[in-house]
Amino acid sequence: MAFALGSPTASQRVSEHDDAPPWTPPELRLVCLDIDDTLIDFSAASRRSLEALIGRTDMWPVWERITDEHVARVVTGELEYPDMHGRRTQAFLAELGISVGMADVAGFEKKRKEMLRRSWRLFDDVLPCLEWLTAAGVRLAAVTNASGAHQREKLAMLGLARFFDYVAIAGEVGVAKPDPVMFKTVCFKLDCEPAQAVHVGDKLATDAVGARDAGLGGVWLDRTGTAADVPSDVHVLYTLADLPELLVSEFARVGVPVPR
65-75 pLDDT, tens per residue?
A: 999 898 888 77
Which of the 8 DSSP states describes residue 76? T
Q: Is the pLDDT of residue 260 over 60?
A: no
Contact call for residues 259 and 147 (beta carbons, < 8 A): no
Q: What residues make up the domain containing 109? A: 44-119
Predicted local confidence at residue 57, as pLDDT: 95
Compute how many other C-beta atoms are within 10 angstroms of the C-beta atom of residue 202. Answer: 20
pLDDT, position 230? 92
Query: What gap in Å lies between CA 160 and CA 220, rounded to an integer?
Result: 21
Question: What is the pLDDT averaged over residues 232-257?
Answer: 83
At residue 23, the pLDDT reads 55
The reply to whether 22 falls in a domain is no
Asked which of 119, 136, 160 is the last residue of a domain, the reply is: 119
Residue 10 above 50 pLDDT?
Answer: no
Q: Pick from 73, 93, 119: which residue ends a domain?
A: 119
> 10 Å Cβ neighbour count for 18?
9
21 is a domain residue? no
Task: Verify that 109 and 187 share a domain, yes or no.
Answer: no
pLDDT score, position 19:
62
Residue 250 falls inside a structural domain = yes
Does 17 fall in a domain?
no
Residues 130 and 245 in one domain: yes
- Assign 252 a pLDDT band (cuts: 50, 70, 90): low
CATH number, domain containing residue 166:
3.40.50.1000
176-217 pLDDT tens trace: 899 999 999 999 999 999 999 999 999 999 999 999 999 999
Please tell me whether residues 49 and 125 are part of one structural domain: no
144 and 222 fall within a common domain: yes
Dist. CA 223–CA 115, nearest whole Å:
24
> Do 134 and 109 fall within a single domain?
no
Number of domains the chain is built from? 2
Task: Tell me the C-alpha to C-alpha distance, in Å, between residue 124 and each of 38, 44, 98.
Answer: 11, 14, 38
Q: Residues near 17 by Cβ (< 8 Å), separated by ≥ 6?
A: none
pLDDT digits (tens, 9 = 90+) for 114-164: 999 898 999 999 999 999 999 999 999 999 988 778 899 999 999 999 999
Claim to verify: residue 239 and residue 126 sit in the same structural domain: yes
